[in-house]
Amino acid sequence: MMEKGLMDKGSVEGQVVDYLMRETLKTREMWINMGPQHPSTHGVLRLILALEGERIVDTEVVIGYLHRGMEKLAEAKTYPQFLPYTDRLDYISSHAMNFGYVLAVEKLMGIEVPDRAQYIRVMMAELTRISSHLLWLATHALDIGAMTVFLYCFREREMILDLCEMAGGARLTTSYFRIGGVAHDLPDGFIEQAREFCRIFPKKAKDYDDLILKNRIWLSRTVNVAKISGEEALNLGLTGPNIRGSGVYWDIRKDEPYSNYDKLDWEIAVYDGCDVYARYLVRLKEMRESCKIVSQCLDVLEKLDGPVMAKVPKVIKPPEGEVYASVEAPKGELGFYIVSDGSPKPYRLKIKAPSFANLISIPTMVKGHMVADVIAAIGSIDVVLGEVDR
């Protein structure tokens, strides 16, 4: 109606027009909602992004859509009864979740686990690590646009799930570990089938490399994206493969070796790229190292005979006290803090879930990046919402 500058600034009308122009045409942030039903958030993660054009200025992470109150439930269950609930934390690597829980209870009780059971546990935990990383690689690559990797990874993951089924009877929520050992010994034919997996897996891992390791599109989507320095990562609570992608030498299996990890020969995977690509390299190397651990365990298990269960009282009544035990789960440090009051139920059980801690750094990682990079960032830290919300 009115051309700018025509109106006298001193008049009342002039001030009103000036005000309207300033308010209606000013640059402001746009808030957009991502999730909780977004396919690339791997569950029910919700992000609220503040955008300036395509650039992200601020991010808020909203979680809790899968909250089941596990810690409250634990207070109403006996120690063995709570074991199957731990499967449902990170449901794609349930052996590792069981491992953390049984270690904490055994530490509280002072139970010594037989050697054969230790090797079986380590082997199953490492198989789970491979399967978890395969699922991660599959979905992460799919998010970024590499479809074929998805199919390849699921092919090998199926072999591991078959092994899990042989050992524990279930494919995902296995509950194969027990307080004091494992549920039962490995069935006939398990070792041969696991050997077959160890034989072919390194070749298959090379296939994944051939597809994306030097792929130009993959590199442009991952290199220098969602960077986080080692110091910042420590400050923000990152653990596991994510912090090793920022050049921090920290793997609980090496630093505070639990079970039989100190008797096995393997290397920590550390890269100092600090970006999505470094975290991808870490996980790829970890899969190969885990495969090495599995074949070493198989060598031992072929010769080693003995019980797979320690002598554990039927009613588990730990002494009064509190312990914290942690394991290197596929996603990072998984810890269980148990307070016992001497009764058969835990007085308080706190789960330190790696994915929960890993999500804290998402706003820092994606600041200043494009919207599409958020998907790469979420994929690279490998969240599982069952574990975040507990």
Partner 1 sequence: MAEEKGKKMSEEEAKEGEKPKAPAAKEASEKRVAAPKEPPPEEPQVDVDSLPLVKRVKSAKGGLIEDVKYFRGEITFLVKKDGIVDLCHFLKDDTETQFNFLTEVIGTHYPEREKPFEVVYHLYSTTKKHRVRLKVQLAEDEEVESVFPVWRSATWYEREVYDMVGVRFTNHPDLRRILLPDDWEGHPLRKDYPLQGPPGYREAWLKAHCASTNKL
For every residue of 35-104, DSSP letters joined together read -SS-GGGSSS-EEEEEEETTEEEEEEEE--TT---HHHHHTTS-HHHHHHHHHTTSTTSHHHHHHHHHHH
Q: Is the dihedral of CA 169, 171, 175, 176 positive or negative?
A: positive
210 in Cβ contact with 132 (< 8 Å): no
CA 282 to CA 239: how far, in whole Å?
A: 13
Q: Which is nearer to partner 1, 294 or 384 (CB)?
A: 384
- What is the SS3 assignment for 135? helix
User: Who contacts 65 (Cβ-Cβ below 8 Å, separation ≥6)?
Assistant: 36, 44, 46, 385, 389
Q: Which is nearer to partner 1, 178 or 221 (CB)?
A: 178
Q: Which is nearer to partner 1, 120 or 325 (CB)?
A: 325
Q: Is 337 exposed, middle or buried (0-12, 13-18, 19+ CB in 10 A)?
A: middle
141 in Cβ contact with 134 (< 8 Å): no
Nearest distance from residue 96's CB to partner 1, in Å?
17
Nearest distance from residue 111's CB to partner 1, in Å?
8
Q: Which is nearer to partner 1, 56 or 104 (CB)?
A: 104
Q: Which is nearer to partner 1, 143 or 333 (CB)?
A: 333
Q: Residue 80's CB: how many other CB atoms inside 10 A?
A: 17
205 in Cβ contact with 284 (< 8 Å): yes
Q: Which is nearer to partner 1, 42 or 140 (CB)?
A: 42
Q: Is 224 left (phi over 0), alpha (psi -120 to 50) or beta?
A: left
CA 71 to CA 62: how far, in whole Å?
A: 20
Nearest distance from residue 322's CB to partner 1, in Å?
7
180 in Cβ contact with 106 (< 8 Å): yes
Nearest distance from residue 195's CB to partner 1, in Å?
34
Classify each residue of 233-244 as buried b or exposed e, where b means 16 or more C-beta atoms within 10 Å of its C-beta: beebbbbbbbbb
How is residue 106 written in tokens?
């055994």
Q: What is the DSSP letter of 329?
A: E
Q: Which is nearer to partner 1, 18 or 232 (CB)?
A: 232
Q: What is the DSSP letter of 210?
A: I
Q: Which is nearer to partner 1, 303 or 314 (CB)?
A: 314
Interface residues with partner 1 (CB under 8 A) are: 63-64, 67, 69, 71-73, 75-76, 107-110, 234-237, 248-250, 255-256, 313-315, 317-319, 321-324, 326, 333, 335, 337, 339, 348, 350, 352, 356-357, 359-360, 389-390
